[in-house]
Amino acid sequence: MGRTRGDWKLIGNTQNPSVTLHNLADAKPEVTNHAKDRLGVVVRLRTLHDEWAKDAAQK
């Protein structure tokens, strides 16, 4: 799973509930995991991904 929204990028795997959240505006965007500090962003991006996956499965 990979999903972006604005400057945020969520990286995960459907087989593992653990995800990482990165701010693409950071100088080194994939060094710092912001998932614990930005739970609202994680939930929003995970919801967007789940909605997309459900829609894609129906097509």
pTM for this structure? 0.81
What pLDDT does residue 25 have? 94
Residue with the bigger pLDDT between 39 and 2: it is 39
Q: Are 35 and 26 in contact (CB under 8 A)?
A: no
Instruction: Report the 10 Å Cβ neighbour count for 45.
Output: 24
Residue with the bigger pLDDT between 1 and 46: it is 46
What pLDDT does residue 14 have? 75
Residue 10 in this model has a pLDDT that exceeds 70 = yes
- Give the confidence band of 13 by pLDDT, cuts at 50, 70, 90: confident
Query: How far from chain centre, in Å, is Cα 19?
Result: 7
DSSP state of 41: H
CA distances (Å), origin 8, targets 27, 55, 57: 13, 22, 25
